[in-house]
Amino acid sequence: MILYSPLWQTMKEKGVSTYALIHKYNISNGTLYRIRQGKAISTVTLNELCKVLKCTPNDVLLFVDDEQAGL
């Protein structure tokens, strides 16, 4: 299972709001909705988030084994 919880912490640390992602960096509202819902995003989107936030994919998402998550 992929979790996006690191993204919100990274955004806070970098001082980037969801408003800035949408209006300054052209990340769609739909993409942010998908992230909030825990849905899949493309590697292109992951790359864009990493470029905007100057971070690595580990700062955006977290892999948790389904068994560890209790699923």
Where residue 66 falls among pLDDT bands split at 50, 70, 90? confident
Domain count, the chain: 1
Place of tokens 């068994």: 67
The predicted-structure confidence for 5-55, as pLDDT tens digits, reads as follows 999 999 999 999 999 999 999 999 999 999 999 999 999 999 999 999 999
Residue 49: which residues within 8 A CB-CB, separation 6 or more?
7, 21, 27, 55, 60
Amino acid code (one letter) for 7: L
Q: Would residue 70 count as lying in a domain? A: no
pLDDT of residue 67: 72
Look up the domain containing 56 and give its range. 2-63
Q: Would residue 20 count as lying in a domain? A: yes
